[in-house]
Amino acid sequence: MEPSIIVSLITGAVTIATVIINTRASNRELTHKLETQQAVTETKIDSLTSEVREHNNFARRMPVVEEQIKVINHRLEDLERENQRKSS
């Protein structure tokens, strides 16, 4: 076999090996970045879920508070009317 063919085969093999090594390293780095980003996203989702639960709890309680305010206002009006009758 001619020396130029042997050199070409060796060069090709080294090139392929280098590409494979670089690709694997790049893949590991990308995988690490994706895992980190996924962890950050999950943390943010957990935080938002907690905030939504707090809001939903607040939203459930507000109609009760509004009803209690209506009752208090009626009681105040009744007391004011009674107080006006007594003072008249």
Please list the rounded mean pLDDT of every run of 10 residues in the chain (88 residues).
91 97 97 98 97 92 94 95 86
| 5: DSSP letter | H
The pLDDT assigned to 1 comes to 75
pLDDT at 54: 93
Fill in the amino acid letter for 9.
L
From 43, 46, 71, 1, select the one nearest 79 (Cα to Cα). 71
Q: What are phi and psi of 2, to 5 degrees?
A: -75, 145
Give CA–CA dist 64/76, Å, rounded.
18
Question: Whole-prediction pTM value?
Answer: 0.56
